[in-house]
Structure 1
């Protein structure tokens, strides 16, 4: 693992809200004094990186894009070389950098991060995907350091029993942490930022 900035992965299926979480996390981490940068992954575009640059949340040079060119999990698990090189370049460019957030391209519940790439990672699912997602016991849900259940405000509109979904998520994760969010409104995002600061940067919330 690099001796530079800590590296945190953000994975999850397409549409679960990974980029929305990033957009909500960045200002909260900056408010805590964290010096950070971002790497996004897409198949053949820089769409997520361009979205973050347009939002003016960070200096655009601190937002790098990696094109996977294949299954999204390939460049975060099987061969994370491209992401490692991008992270190393950020470390060289910004000597005081503390944290690099690495967003995966949208993938399925089996998507996980190589620990050669990240120090800690979270996995985002959303209630619109169905309350049976935890019961499917995907590796992303089981192995991540923090499970984020997003779009909780929609549970009644999509017929999801949120308390049961949470109960089943806690059961399959054996007590490992879970945070519920509504990233569009910022609900729960402070808890995610607190978890990163505490577990990765060893800072008090």
Structure 2
């Protein structure tokens, strides 16, 4: 099989909005003709997989839940074998797939993805965690191909200074991309979709063409 799907990791702390982000992104991508599947990671359950299946915007067979049995970062960085096998199963069942999201279980700011597993990864933090989060220099946030600062609508209610977050996030990520999102209204989601289409999917299409040639 020459065609392989692009793989995008989605990481971030518990409650930052990783699953909610996927719930918003996937229907838009599917409407644009992009064939999508998802692998979720949980410690000893498949709660995130069940939540996505319940939404019904993807056939349940396109969502695989991996029970890592260990710290979430282990299965996305140190030994991604279980995730690689899940992706391989999806590609075998759906050879037309364009994109597989691999969602990490909730982890800390140090969590990063192995590039043996993903082509790029998104790291999600939320405003509710405080406006000092960018200053903590977590490798997941700093090194991600795209950082998503989510729940920007709640800043006034949790005493977070959104302008400070924007300033310090920009300083610490230099020229690396950042999206500011509100999953309830859709604000900022276009920036995430642009990143996926213009960067990840474009690069993968070039790879597939070169292999076929």
- Report TM bin, short chain: over 0.9
Deviation at 1:44, TM superposition (A): 0.5
| Aligned-residue offset at 1:184 | 2.2
* 1:183 is aligned to 2:183: yes
3-state DSSP class of the match of 2:135? helix
The CA distance in 2 between the partners of 1:202 and 1:86, in whole Å, is 23
Which SS does the other structure have where 2:10 is aligned?
Answer: strand
Q: State the SS of the aligned residue for 1:124.
A: strand
* Alignment partner, residue 146 of structure 2: 146
Post-superposition CA distance 1:78-97 (Å, at most 9, x none):
00000000001111111111
Residue 80, structure 1, aligned to residue 80, structure 2: yes
> CA offset at residue 3 of structure 1?
5.8
What SS does the corresponding residue of 2:201 show, helix, strand or coil?
A: coil
* 1:194 aligned onto 2:194: yes
User: What CA distance in whole angstroms lies between the structure 2 residues aligned with 1:176 and 1:3?
Assistant: 29
Matched, 1:162 2:141: no
Identify the residue that residue 8 of structure 2 maps to in structure 1.
Answer: 8
1:152-183 per-residue CA deviation (whole Å, 9 max, x = no partner) reads: 00000000110111110010011211000011
1:190 Cα shift? 2.0
TM normalised by structure 1 equals 0.96
Q: How many residues align?
A: 202
- 5+ residue gaps in structure 1? none
Structure 2, gaps ≥5 residues long: 204-213
SS for the counterpart of 2:69 is: coil
Determine helix, strand or coil for the equivalent of 2:30: helix
SS at match of 2:49: helix
Partner of 1:140, secondary structure, is helix
Cα-to-partner distance string for 1:104-159 (whole Å, 9 max, x where unaligned): 00000000000000000000000000110000000011110000000000000000
Rounded Cα–Cα distance in structure 1 between residues aligned with 2:3 and 2:74: 24
Deviation above 6 Å: which 4+ runs of structure 1? none
The residue that corresponds to 1:93 in the other structure is 93
Other-structure match for 1:120: 120
**Do the aligned residues in 2 keep the contact of 1:42 with 1:66 (CA within 8 Å)?**
yes
- C-alpha separation between the residues in 2 aligned to 1:144 and 1:92? 28
Greater helix share, structure number: 2
